[in-house]
Amino acid sequence: MRERLDPDMAEAMAFEAARDAGLPPPVDLDEERARGRDAAAFWNEGLPEMAAIEDHVVAGPEGPVPVRVFKPVDSGPLPVMLYIHGGGWVVGSVVQNEPLIRTLAARSGWAIAAPTYRLAPEHPYPAGLDDNIAAGQWLQNEGAAHGLDASRMVVSGTSAGGNLALAAAVSGRLEALAGLVLFYGVFGADLDTASYRRFADGRFGLSRERMAYFLDLYDPTGRHRTDPLLQPLLAELAGLPPTWLLAAGLDVLRSDTLALHSRLIEAGVRSTLHVEPGVVHGFINRGRMVGAARRSLDGAAHFLRSLTRDTP
């Protein structure tokens, strides 16, 4: 079967390819990270305005963890999502995820708190996980002082951020959560799933080689690969809150999300799965050009609003 790109997705990919044409490879990770932040400027134009954006500093296990809180309205206390950005545990930033953050906050009415956590390889597993758990604990312990209702807290993330979000949820270090919202996450360490085999060459962006590179930087010795907090598909999932899952149709990580959905159902967890056809890994922050990103965020917002209605 021939895989077909969504027309909007194809246009967005062509735009990015033309933008980057002729650029030499980044000399190091610092340059790659900086290029990613710079490229976000185009995608971040025209995003919803927030009633308030607050910068906080949380005490982490090895130092301060910055947390930026996006509030769509002035009234409160607001239910809050802890949102963990992706980037293979190695690159990525909050600013590169503002299309998701601002759009989802505006459409759901939820505040979104986004940590800037330590990245590999400078800080390998479990540094990033520990920082994000510290941010979640801060929200649950002190969020009320900042107009946040952490009794209605969801944990969310994209890609490696989805891995960190699920790991935080199963870690036992956060109080009861209202839900999980996971976008095309890395939930296993098996690089030979059906979707890895189908899309390994990277013709639709993320390749098997790139994911192997990220895993090796996050876990350089390889001794944590069967740790459920690194590979949360191996974790005990019973007792998790209602979960909303999104997979990209043309993504090496698609099988991870399908496997997680099956495991959640088997564990008695209420899981909602949506596979968006014709889109590639990372599409959710391309809403300026990709209608599927906007529609998917509408689905996530609907899920969050349903949780608010379900709260006694």
For residue 236, count other CB atoms closer than 10 A to its CB.
Answer: 11
Tokens 């889109």 sit on residue = 279
- Give 24's Cβ-side CA count (13 Å radius): 4
DSSP letter, residue 49: P
SS3 for 124? coil
* Tokens at 278, concatenated: 């014709």
- Contact by Cβ (8 Å): 86, 99: no
Q: Which helix (DSSP H) or strand (DSSP E) does residue 277 occupy?
A: strand 271-280
In single-letter form, the type of residue at position 238 comes to A
Say how far apart CA 113 and CA 105 lie, in whole Å: 10
> What does the H/E/C string look like for 68-91?
EEEECCCCCCEEEEEEECCCCCCC
Q: What residues contact 63, with CB distance under 8 A and at least 6 apart?
A: none
**Could you say which of 159, 195, 271, 296 is catalytic?**
159
Q: How far apart are the first and last CA of the chain?
A: 48
Is 159 one of the catalytic residues? Answer: yes
- Contact by Cβ (8 Å): 156, 100: no
- Contact by Cβ (8 Å): 272, 205: no
20 burial (CB, 10 Å; 0-12 / 13-18 / 19+) is exposed
**Could you say which of 8, 149, 219, 251 is catalytic?**
251
Is 123 one of the catalytic residues? Answer: no
Largest CA distance in the chain: 56
Point out the residues that are catalytic: 159, 251, 281
